[in-house]
Structure 1
């Protein structure tokens, strides 16, 4: 009985240590998600300014031909998957949104491992940074990997596929077109004042397109960073509930086993006391009979 109680105590201690690790991972994921959400406002404003500038170019230089997809050319997608584990089915949902036959640029080490298991190949892959400060550099590296196939005409359409987390609703997968630019998607200026241009409209549009793609990649990466950590928080919360339930069951078993051990000790003590009293009575009766025989 003592060995069994010791085993239960060891299991309780181990599960409590696991609970400490789970709570720490949950706290780290929460801090990272909050940091990414706080920076999304700035990136959204930056992308909106560039989109407004592109809209002005389209409005005042209508002769600039917008890029258009050509039939027979391939589409590409930048898929932002999970960098680490314990994020549930986050990567599976993102990979499931990639259309078949799409040239894939894959972000996230955990997502890359899952893609390999599924037999999905990627043209280019990279790791998601551990902190949001590394996201602009990641977006620059992705853009550099994209420029060659776009310039060579091997990619006619480019999408960003990433997760978005909605409070109370969970994860949804967003698919945003990055290239070619759709003139109707950019806001037109409310005023009629023509800005002073120092560059040819074609050159200006090309440079603004590069900045716009970089800004959209940053925004997609931030959304993916936040939603991955939100998914990890949810997974850790479920693990925490399972740990609490397991601890409650083990603690109840511990109480029962301890009570059984105490009961066994009491019975053993009581049995020893009764046996001692029986021996004492037998001894007294023996002495009495002996005296009677001696005096008889």
Structure 2
């Protein structure tokens, strides 16, 4: 059985750990609030740019635009995987990496075997994971979540578009955690390039907005564009792509803070339960030691009296 000193040392160690996890939970909660505010501020623009491209797309032959080109043969592929830079967030990174591996196995195994699958890892965890497994990495985006800024999304999108136009890869997909609430994150794998048609009228729309869109598609609403729809589409598509990736980064950042907050809350609770058990054990050992001492004293006294 452990000595009283050993148990006291362990109690102190658990108390120190509990203080750290409690502090990390508070920090994650503060960061989560800021991350949520950024997402809520960005979503209205996401809706409007999708709506605008949808109107333009309904009036133009977008098949002539290179970023809409669906290629018959997928010879190369780029997978953008967004994880965190740090751990201590439960299964946040592990679950996403499983989805990334499943995506590769289901859609890009032929490209993986041929050596034409490349990974653009955003976050240290993804960079290390795919680097150790022999994947060809594009760029180095570690430590970006310490100071997450909009130009990063533009840099990544420019690299993805450049490789797509140069036929270095024929499809680009993004795998990231989508923020739902503090407890829940959805693992999402969605196509970025070529731009899929169904992205324009799906998420971020209220019921009334969908009704307006249906009326527009039926030709009941007419829009006048200045400058021309062709010029607007050319300008909006790069911005749309950049914003899609920026939204994925914001979603992942908020999901990470939510997952870390829950993980640290669970760790703090578990530490409290462990402290209860350790204190109970300490009291039992202490009581046993006191009882043993009393018995020894009593035995000694009886021996003296008998002598």
Fold in common (TM above 0.5): yes
Structure 1 residues 48 and 249, CA gap change in structure 2 (3 angstroms)? same
- 1:146 matched to which residue of 2? 160
**Distance in 1 separating the partners of 2:271 and 2:233:** 56
Shift of 1:211: 0.6
Task: Tell whether 2:225 aligns with 1:195.
Answer: yes
TM alignment of 1:5-84, pairs within 5 A? 5-62=4-61, 65-66=64-65, 67-72=68-73, 73-84=75-86
Q: Which runs of 5+ in 1 are unaligned?
A: 280-296
Structure 1 residues 258 and 32, CA gap change in structure 2 (3 angstroms)? same
> Which has the larger Rg?
1
Task: Tell whether 2:95 aligns with 1:96.
Answer: no
2:237 to 200, 209, 213: 209
- 1:175 matched to which residue of 2? 189
- 2:88 matched to which residue of 1? 86
Shift of 1:4: 1.5
- 1:113 matched to which residue of 2? 128
CA contact under 8 A between 1:95 and 1:115: conserved in structure 2? no
- 1:249 matched to which residue of 2? 277
Shift of 1:90: 2.6
Shift of 1:247: 1.7
**Distance in 2 separating the partners of 1:20 and 1:149:** 48
Q: Higher mean Cα deviation, 51-60 or 40-49? A: 51-60
For the aligned residue pairs, the C-alpha RMSD in angstroms reads: 2.8
**Distance in 2 separating the partners of 1:65 and 1:185:** 18
> What secondary structure does 1:234 align onto?
helix
CA contact under 8 A between 2:21 and 2:268: conserved in structure 1? yes
CA contact under 8 A between 1:80 and 1:161: conserved in structure 2? yes
CA contact under 8 A between 2:160 and 2:172: conserved in structure 1? no
> What secondary structure does 1:82 align onto?
coil
**Distance in 2 separating the partners of 1:175 and 1:45:** 22
> What secondary structure does 2:27 align onto?
helix
Structure 1 residues 124 and 96, CA gap change in structure 2 (3 angstroms)? farther
**Distance in 2 separating the partners of 1:275 and 1:184:** 94
Structure 1 residues 270 and 123, CA gap change in structure 2 (3 angstroms)? same
TM-score calculated relative to the size of structure 2: 0.78
> What secondary structure does 1:191 align onto?
coil
Task: Tell whether 2:250 aligns with 1:222.
Answer: yes
Shift of 1:224: 0.8
TM-score calculated relative to the size of structure 1: 0.80
> What secondary structure does 1:119 align onto?
coil
- 1:157 matched to which residue of 2? 171
CA contact under 8 A between 1:91 and 1:114: conserved in structure 2? no
- 1:134 matched to which residue of 2? 148
CA contact under 8 A between 1:160 and 1:176: conserved in structure 2? yes
